[in-house]
């Protein structure tokens, strides 16, 4: 999951803040992600396992992807609307990437999956890696997005059975963080010992802006984590989170 950014940074502000020039961007209203929720409820289990074959054939999912490609973030949208779009886009285009290449045992078996172009936003190519690093972390600076982005692997956060929405975004991000840290398959939290997902190592700088890793974890778990708790990182399981 360490990923390298392929594109230059200077165009980020323009992409996030400038008016749309893309084909089909005819209005300034953020799209509704309700269709994605319906698809996820039908094809994702309670523990986050995905039926990639079924979801790839679902015409509702195909329509949702087409909608994302047509209506991309605009400055008229609220911060929460733009953030929700990018998170849902990451998860939806990851699903399409896998479902288009079945059978797949690991997403890493695909050729440079995190560097492939998955969508164009006003003429610019965006990969999954670029969405995560530029649009989300550089654009919004909220490390909780790492709990919301699902890279199609068993060690990544479990895919929720609902889309992220502007009106509930903070609540959903908080829930995703607590769920991820409370899952003993992905993290093992004790007062004096933190066995953490490699996500916390790969993106350590995002999680430790102004605080220690122990402090960040303590804020998103019910465990009373000691300031000097030992920190270890678990091996990452890249096997597909499919069912």
pLDDT for 112-148, tens place per residue? 999 999 999 988 999 999 999 999 999 999 999 999 9
Same domain, 175 and 191: no
Domain count, the chain: 2
pLDDT at 2: 46
Same domain, 47 and 82: yes
pTM of this structure: 0.88
Same domain, 109 and 228: no
Q: Does the residue 3 lie in any domain?
A: no
Summarize pLDDT for 170-226 with one digit per residue, the tens: 999 999 999 999 999 999 999 999 999 999 999 999 999 999 999 999 999 999 999
Cβ-count burial 79-113 (b if 16+ within 10 Å, e if not): ebbbbbbbbbbbbbbbbbbbbeeeebeebbeeeeb
DSSP 132: I
Same domain, 192 and 76: no
pLDDT at 110: 95
Same domain, 114 and 197: no
Q: Does the residue 152 lie in any domain?
A: yes
Cα separation, 125 vs 116, in Å, equals 9
Q: What is the domain range of residue 57? A: 12-183
Which of 183, 199, 215 delimits the end of a domain? 183
Cα separation, 111 vs 130, in Å, equals 16
């Amino acid at each position: 999951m360490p990923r390298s950014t392929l594109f230059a940074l200077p165009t980020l502000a323009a992409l996030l803040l400038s008016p749309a020039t893309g084909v089909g961007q005819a209005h300034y209203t953020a799209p509704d992600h309700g269709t994605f929720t319906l698809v996820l409820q039908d094809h994702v289990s309670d523990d986050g396992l995905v039926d990639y074959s079924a979801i790839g054939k679902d015409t509702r999912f195909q329509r949702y992807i087409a909608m994302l490609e047509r209506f991309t973030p605009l400055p008229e949208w609220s911060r929460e609307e733009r953030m929700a779009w990018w998170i849902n886009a990451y998860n939806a285009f990851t699903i399409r990437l896998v479902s288009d290449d079945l059978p797949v045992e690991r997403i890493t078996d695909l050729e440079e999956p995190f560097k492939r172009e998955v969508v164009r936003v006003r003429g610019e190519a965006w990969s999954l890696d670029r969405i995560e690093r530029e649009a989300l972390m550089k654009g919004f600076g909220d490390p909780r997005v790492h709990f919301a982005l699902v890279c199609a692997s068993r060690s990544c956060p479990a895919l929720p059975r609902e889309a992220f929405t502007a009106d509930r975004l903070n609540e959903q991000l908080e829930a995703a963080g607590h769920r991820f840290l409370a899952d003993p398959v992905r993290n093992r939290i004790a007062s004096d010992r933190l066995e953490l997902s490699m996500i916390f190592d790969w993106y350590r700088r995002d999680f430790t802006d102004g605080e220690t890793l122990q402090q960040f974890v303590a804020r998103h778990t019910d465990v009373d984590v000691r300031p000097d708790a030992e920190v270890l990182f678990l091996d990452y399981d890249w096997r597909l989170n499919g069912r």
